[in-house]
Amino acid sequence: MHEFQSRCSHFEKLEHKQMRHPQGPRKPLILRVLTSKVMFPFLLLIWFLYFTFGRSETKSLRGPPPVVFNALDIYQQKDNDRKIEYLVVVAGHAVMKLNQMKVADTSDAGWYLLSYQQNQGFPAIISSHIKKGVELASLNAKSMLVFSGGQTRRDVGPTSEAASYYYLASEKKWIDKMTERVYLEEYARDSFENLLFSICRFREIQGYYPTKISVVGFDFKAQRYTDLHRMAVGFPPSNFTYIGVQSPAQFDQARAVTGEKEARRSFEKDAYGCNDPALNDKRNKRNPFRRTVPYTMACPEMKDLLEWCGPGQFNVDSLPWSVKRRSS
């Protein structure tokens, strides 16, 4: 009886204690730890460290925000920021036989020549054009030399005219002292694209446009470049030079001049070379691997010009190198 009363008294005390201090369901361990008084200063320290250091670390990993360039700003950079400003273009005319590189400066056997190019001294002509381009670029430390010419021969394979000129110049050590300033433009299919695409290639490499341009080629093509191509792209005449190199005596200059007159008439009718049947057909034939020109992405400031097919003259005042735009 005494034991029974004792147990009853114990349960009454326990019930009374629970009524004063109701516990309810127990919280999960992780929640009890995080809400404890001991953890609060520790969590506060973590929060402080993250917002002081962690956010800057995350931001640096994402990289800097994208920079939006104004086309005029790209052209008019400070002189000390423009390490390279002079573009020298050597237009390509043939593809080299890579296994005949050693004799490519003197022998037709080193090149895949069309019938009208054979026995015309083309190896010497090509060599003289390359050497003249190298000479011009070597005289100006702010110059960039571009060999221009695409993969124009299906029967030869995917070797470009530009690469052929580079391989020859490298083999003969003509560019040994300036290789870091020599680049290729491997999409051009005619003389207009040699100029247009080389300007864009300069922008793709340097991040801005050239202030001066020289083009090296056949002497009889001077008028085509200076009067037609230069005007079509709107480059200032005072900053543009065409260097015509005289061909050797065995070259049939009269036949070349006759062909040049026909080409010039075509470009006079169609300055951008995409509506005249003869010019358009030539471009199609000189792109046997059906490569797509990528320069609208590389040179957004030139996108409208690159896509322009007329009729009429493109509004060159909108271009980065426009005299009117720079003076406004």
pLDDT for 37 equals 63
Higher-confidence residue of 79 and 159: namely 159
Instruction: Return the percentage of the chain with pLDDT > 90, whole number.
Output: 72
What is each CA distance from 148 to 75, 90, 197, 255, 288, in whole angstroms? Answer: 22, 6, 8, 24, 17
The C-alpha atoms of residue 244 and residue 133 are separated, in whole angstroms, by 11
Output phi, psi for 24, to 5 deg.
65, -170
pLDDT beyond 60 at 139: yes
pLDDT for 221 equals 98
Q: What is the mean pLDDT of residues 26-30?
A: 62
Residue with tokens 């003197």: 106
Query: pLDDT grade, residue 311 (50/70/90)?
Result: confident
Q: How far is CA 57 from the centre of its chain?
A: 31
pLDDT beyond 90 at 186: yes
Q: What is the mean pLDDT of residues 257-266?
A: 96
Superfamily of domain 82-327: HUPs (3.40.50.620)
pLDDT for 25 equals 57
Q: Over the stretch 36-75, which tens digit does the pLDDT of each residue have?
A: 666 666 667 776 666 666 554 444 444 444 444 454 554 5
Q: What is the mean pLDDT of residues 232-260?
A: 97
pLDDT beyond 90 at 122: yes
The C-alpha atoms of residue 52 and residue 256 are separated, in whole angstroms, by 73
Query: Minimum mean pLDDT among 40-44, 129-133, 188-192: which range?
Result: 40-44
pLDDT for 56 equals 47
Name the pTM for this structure: 0.76
Q: How far is CA 307 from the centre of its chain?
A: 17
8 Å CB contact between 94 and 112: yes
pLDDT beyond 50 at 213: yes
Residue with tokens 């008439």: 265
CA angle 136, 268, 88 (to 5 degrees): 10
Query: pLDDT grade, residue 135 (50/70/90)?
Result: very high
Domain coordinates in residue numbering, the chain? 82-327
Provide the H-helix boundaries in the chain.
2-20, 29-34, 39-49, 55-62, 71-75, 122-138, 161-171, 191-206, 222-223, 230-233, 253-269, 277-285, 295-298, 303-307, 323-327
Query: pLDDT grade, residue 269 (50/70/90)?
Result: very high
Q: What is the mean pLDDT of residues 25-42?
A: 62
Higher-confidence residue of 93 and 72: namely 93
- 17-29 in b/e form (b: 16+ CB < 10 A) is eeeeeeeeeeeee
Q: What is the mean pLDDT of residues 144-151?
A: 98
Query: Minimum mean pLDDT among 163-177, 215-229, 287-301, 312-326: which range?
Result: 312-326
The C-alpha atoms of residue 63 and residue 180 are separated, in whole angstroms, by 28
Higher-confidence residue of 322 and 223: namely 223
The C-alpha atoms of residue 74 and residue 68 are separated, in whole angstroms, by 10
Residue type, 295: Y
Residue type, 153: R
CA nearest to 194, candidates 109, 295, 124 = 295
The C-alpha atoms of residue 197 and residue 190 are separated, in whole angstroms, by 10
Q: What is the mean pLDDT of residues 239-248?
A: 97
Quote the mean pLDDT of the chain: 86
Q: What is the mean pLDDT of residues 293-307?
A: 96
